[in-house]
Chain A
Amino acid sequence: MLVWADDTLRARPWVVAQGVTKQRLAQLLMLLIVFGLLYGAVMGSFGGVFGGRFLQVVYSAAKVPLLLIATFALSLPSFFVVNTLFGLRDDWSRVVRALVATQAGLTIILASLAPFTVLWYASCNNYRAAILFNTAMFGIASIAAQHLLNRFYAPLIARNRRHRIMRQGWLVIYAFVGIQMGWVLRPFIGSPNSPTQFFRDEAWGNAYVKLVQIVVGLFGG
């Protein structure tokens, strides 16, 4: 399994181009889930791991793969239709593999950053700082994963230049859905002052509207 992870990070040819698609997808999905669980568990350990807080660790662990898989599932149909319209249907299985591999890569990168998170949690007990730190980790992982996506997409773009536009389109759809998904699936870290729960009662809301309200509030609007 670690060999698969290493191969994914190095964008070896088997990941997107060789072998039976179903088998490879299963491998990549397994990577995504295992490493996602790993980082999620670390992320949820802010309030401690014993007693009632253990449940939060389990919830957070489940949420990271859930976040990625649900976002992926919601974004895929429209990406399929648009790819077909642009005449790229023949490459579809490779495209899906590249996208899943990128997400697996994202969780691997995240998991590699988990020790930093542990150190941060051990040294600082401010909840807001913990949120910011995790945001930074996700930011770093996303930037690195984008680099990975570029590498997976390079052979596709070499075949047909339209894949470049598709790649950008994918990032737009995925980010748009993913941000709201992250908002709905809160809390990921679990405030030590509030009880452990899977969803927040007030979780329903809109990340974008909230964001604009915060920005407007900052400028005294």
Chain B
Amino acid sequence: MVKWFRQLDSILRGDATRLPSLSEGRIEIPAGGLSTVIVLLAVFYGLCMGSFNLLQGLEDRAHDTCMQIVASAVKLPLLFFLTLAVTLPSLYVFNALVGSRLSILSVLRLLVAAIGVILAVLASLGPIVVFFALSTPNYPFMILLNVAMCTVSGVLGLAFLLRTMHRLVLVQEALDGPEPAAPPAEAAPPQAPSGPSGALDQVGAFTSRKALRVFRIWTLVFALVGAQMSWVLRPFVGNPNMPFTWFRARESNFFLAVLRSLGQMFGL
């Protein structure tokens, strides 16, 4: 267990993704052990999230509050792994189409590492969330606070992913010889790493830059899918005026709900 946390620590410090360890485009990150740590951190943040209402809950709602804490702790790890499951296939396919050398295992390891970074940041924000959850009776505020915390950790984690990807590109270019990088202005639109062009372009520097672009678009997709997945899996915080449910009915979407919460918070 301690060993796995050390591995997460070495990822956070950047030791795991230094240029020498990335040589040959391989990533030496043990995905299995790291996943356990990820689950633990996610459960911890889920507990923090669900603890809203714990102190000001009425007697007859005590059961609902406890169930909400359990449900949030179960759902938060699910949120990350489901998001990964939804986005991984397309990432791998497009990555392969543009001719990147990353194997599916390497892609998976890279993503697990990025999720590890996200959850490390998220879990470290947990104490702040608990403090606000216990001292605030305002439901929309808690939702927005959690959205903000997830955004901060998501941005940091995905920035880590892109930096690591960039390093991989550098390593690959070094391996492929001193070829000048692709010109920045290309004819192809950025969101279309289509099959034929990928199959035609086997030049190392060129294709690896394209892989980087695929990852850039993917981070956006990951953020959108994650946000909507959190909407599907809601409630995480637990509305004090509604009975406990594991899931809610299908309606609206994440972004509309955030806007509505903003309005509700100030009673507008």
Partner of A206, one of B13, B55, B141, B267: B141
Q: A180-B132, A184-B135, A205-B137 are in contact. Are A78 and B121 (CB under 8 A)?
A: yes
Residues of chain A lying within 8 A (CB to CB) of residue B56: 204
Size band of the interface chain A makes with B: 20 to 34
A1 at the interface (CB under 8 A from B): no
Assess whether B156 is in contact with A209, with CB atoms less than 8 Å apart: no
Assess whether A206 is in contact with B156, with CB atoms less than 8 Å apart: no
A177 at the interface (CB under 8 A from B): yes
A84 at the interface (CB under 8 A from B): yes
B14 at the interface (CB under 8 A from A): yes
B117 at the interface (CB under 8 A from A): yes
B128 at the interface (CB under 8 A from A): yes
A74 at the interface (CB under 8 A from B): yes
B160 at the interface (CB under 8 A from A): yes
| A82-B156, A208-B141 given; 7 more Cβ-contact pairs under 8 Å | A74-B131, A77-B126, A81-B120, A85-B156, A180-B132, A206-B136, A206-B138
Q: A81-B12, A206-B141, A209-B138 are in contact. Are A75 and B266 (CB under 8 A)?
A: no
B64 at the interface (CB under 8 A from A): no
Assess whether A81 is in contact with B160, with CB atoms less than 8 Å apart: no
A27-71: which have CB < 8 Å to B? none
CB distance from B139 to the nearest CB of A (A): 10
Residues of chain B lying within 8 A (CB to CB) of residue A184: 135
B265 at the interface (CB under 8 A from A): yes
Assess whether A216 is in contact with B121, with CB atoms less than 8 Å apart: no
Assess whether B135 is in contact with A77, with CB atoms less than 8 Å apart: no
Q: Residue among A77, A176, A212 with the most chain B CB within 10 A?
A: A77
B233 at the interface (CB under 8 A from A): no
Q: A84-B12, A206-B141 are in contact. Are A78 and B128 (CB under 8 A)?
A: yes
Assess whether A77 is in contact with B267, with CB atoms less than 8 Å apart: no
Residues of chain A lying within 8 A (CB to CB) of residue B13: 84, 87, 89
Which residue of chain B lies nearest to A169 when distances are taken between CB atoms in the complex? B152
Q: Is the interface of B mostly helix, strand, loop or mixed?
A: helix
A140 at the interface (CB under 8 A from B): no
A181 at the interface (CB under 8 A from B): yes
Q: Residue among A84, A173, A212 with the most chain B CB within 10 A?
A: A84
Number of CB contacts from chain A to chain B under 8 A: 73
B195 at the interface (CB under 8 A from A): no
B interface with A by C-beta (< 8 Å): 9, 12-14, 55-56, 117, 120-121, 123-128, 131-132, 135-138, 141, 156, 160, 265-268
4 cross-chain pairs, A with B, having the tightest CB-CB distances, nearest first: A81-B124, A77-B124, A78-B124, A206-B136
Partner of B14, one of A78, A87, A208: A87
Which residue of chain B lies nearest to A77 when distances are taken between CB atoms in the complex? B124
A93 at the interface (CB under 8 A from B): no
Residues of chain B lying within 8 A (CB to CB) of residue A213: 266-267
Q: A85-B156, A212-B266 are in contact. Are A80 and B124 (CB under 8 A)?
A: yes
A2 at the interface (CB under 8 A from B): no
Which residue of chain B lies nearest to A70 when distances are taken between CB atoms in the complex? B131
Residues of chain A lying within 8 A (CB to CB) of residue B14: 85, 87
A73 at the interface (CB under 8 A from B): yes
With the chains together, A213 CA to B266 CA distance in Å?
A: 6
Partner of A204, one of B9, B55, B126, B266: B55
Which residue of chain B lies nearest to A203 when distances are taken between CB atoms in the complex? B135
CB distance from A214 to the nearest CB of B (A): 11
